[in-house]
A and B are shown apart, each in its own frame.
Chain A
Amino acid sequence: MATCTFASEERAELLLDYVAGTLSQSLNTEVERHLEACLSCRTVVKSQQEVWSSLDDWEPIPVSADFDRKLYARLGEAESGGFWQRLFALRWSSGRWKVAVMPFAAACVMLFAAFMLRFTVAKTPEPVQIAAHVESADVEQVERTLEDLDMLRQLSGPPGSAQEIQ
């Protein structure tokens, strides 16, 4: 048997397109001319035509009568769904994601604030002790400051006098 002159990759595509009827007129003529001389390709074409015919006979079942009704019901649910349904149905590309992020961010901030407040309240006793310590330290500091000011006045004399600090 003579070897097919078509390259294997070219052959598969040409024969498939020939059976499918998608070749151009010129290529169709070329393939038909080749088939007259090539038994191998004729066998493939015949077999492929049988497969094609068998697939043609496989008709699908009719569409259910309530298909559209169910679809529109689902569309209606999707469009008029609750807050969370709308939230999760948002598409990022439209920029509407910001609407979803804002309430989520606000909720996070509130949770964080609540957590910090609880943490701060738990530490309440300490500030009283610290305040008492600071209070006593402040009083001493004030007394020393006043003493320093007295010393300065004594050193500087009355305002405008020649006995300014030397």
Chain B
Amino acid sequence: MTAVGALERDAELMLRVREGDTASFGLLLERHRAPVIHFLYRMTQNQGVSEELAQEVFLRVYRARESYEPAAKFTTWLFRIASRLALNWIRDRKNERRHESLDAAAQPGQATRQFADRSPSAEQSLLRQSRLEEVRMAIEALPAKQRAAVLMHKYREMDYSHIAESLNCSESAVKSLLFRAYETLRQRLAHMV
């Protein structure tokens, strides 16, 4: 399915949900569950919180089904809700956020942190984990809005205008957020080059 086809399909499914078709909601959930959770996970760096917020996202989508207009791109709307919830959570929990330790034992129902395993030796594996921890901390250190912009730009491949709609700001503001964020990341991760 092409990108345009996927967009039209999302709108079509959401219109069916508006008419009361819950099966279409299931299809939308199937398609967008993982991207939303992954975005929220990278924003909050907490699996439990990310899934709770993701449920809230889909709950709000369902509740707002009757007022949905196909003029708005579905994923933009979805990530607007997601980023707003994430930014609110970060604001509210600024001083209480817990950091997961790489060595922490897995809690019941929680998955452990996973990294792409491309290193054959233990030493390379440790090096890789150390590198990824640097990346995680660098992202976490970004201001919340810069973080959201980078995550949408990098992992969702959203263009400036859609990121702007999701963050409820201008396109020029998004560019400014991204340029500053990437400049910070380049400086912070320069020693890893």
Q: B-contacting residues of A (Cβ < 8 Å)?
A: 12-13, 16, 20, 22, 44, 46-48, 50-52, 54-55, 57-64, 66-68, 70-71, 74-75, 78, 89, 91, 93-94
A71 close to B55 (CB less than 8 A): yes
Report the tally of A-B residue pairs with Cβ distances under 8 A. 104
The SS class assigned to the A binding surface is: helix
Given A13-B175, A58-B136, A93-B67: A47 and B55 within 8 A (CB)? no
B189 close to A51 (CB less than 8 A): yes
Q: Which of B34, B63, B135 contacts A89 (CB 8 A)?
A: B63
Q: Which of B42, B64, B111, B193 contacts A64 (CB 8 A)?
A: B111
Could you mark each residue 129-141 of chain B with 1 if its beta carbon is under 8 Å from any beta carbon of chain A, else 0? Answer: 0011011100100
Cα A78 to Cα B189 in complex, Å, equals 45
A71 close to B67 (CB less than 8 A): no
Given A94-B66, A94-B67: A63 and B37 within 8 A (CB)? yes
Cα A50 to Cα B153 in complex, Å, equals 16
A47 proximity list for chain B (CB < 8 A): 186, 190, 193
Could you mark each residue 35-55 of chain B with 1 if its beta carbon is under 8 Å from any beta carbon of chain A, else 0? Answer: 001100110000100010011
A60 close to B42 (CB less than 8 A): yes
A70 proximity list for chain B (CB < 8 A): 51, 55
Given A51-B185, A75-B59: A58 and B37 within 8 A (CB)? no
Interface range, B side: 35 or more
9 other A-B residue contacts (CB within 8 Å) besides A47-B193, A54-B134, A74-B55: A12-B179, A47-B190, A51-B182, A54-B135, A57-B128, A59-B115, A63-B33, A78-B63, A89-B63
Nearest 6 A-B pairs (CB), nearest first?
A60-B38, A47-B186, A12-B179, A61-B111, A54-B135, A71-B55
Decide if B114 is an interface residue (CB 8 Å cutoff): yes
B64 close to A91 (CB less than 8 A): yes
Cα A117 to Cα B112 in complex, Å, equals 66
B55 close to A55 (CB less than 8 A): no
**CB proximity of A132 to chain B, nearest CB, Å:** 65
Q: A-contacting residues of B (Cβ < 8 Å)?
A: 29, 33-34, 37-38, 41-42, 47, 51, 54-55, 58-59, 62-64, 66-67, 109-116, 128, 131-132, 134-136, 139, 150, 153-155, 157, 159, 175, 178-179, 182, 185-186, 189-190, 192-193
B54 proximity list for chain A (CB < 8 A): 67
**CB proximity of B128 to chain A, nearest CB, Å:** 7
**CB proximity of A75 to chain B, nearest CB, Å:** 6
A57 close to B116 (CB less than 8 A): yes
List 21 A–B pairs whose Cβ atoms lie within 8 Å, in order of A's numbering. Answer: A12-B175, A16-B178, A16-B179, A50-B189, A54-B189, A55-B150, A57-B115, A57-B128, A57-B135, A59-B116, A60-B38, A60-B41, A60-B114, A62-B114, A63-B37, A64-B111, A66-B109, A67-B33, A70-B55, A74-B55, A91-B66
A52 proximity list for chain B (CB < 8 A): 154
A48 proximity list for chain B (CB < 8 A): 182, 186
**CB proximity of A121 to chain B, nearest CB, Å:** 46
Cα A51 to Cα B179 in complex, Å, equals 13
Which residue on chain A has the smallest CB distance to residue B154?
A: A55
**CB proximity of B117 to chain A, nearest CB, Å:** 10
A74 close to B182 (CB less than 8 A): no
**CB proximity of A51 to chain B, nearest CB, Å:** 5
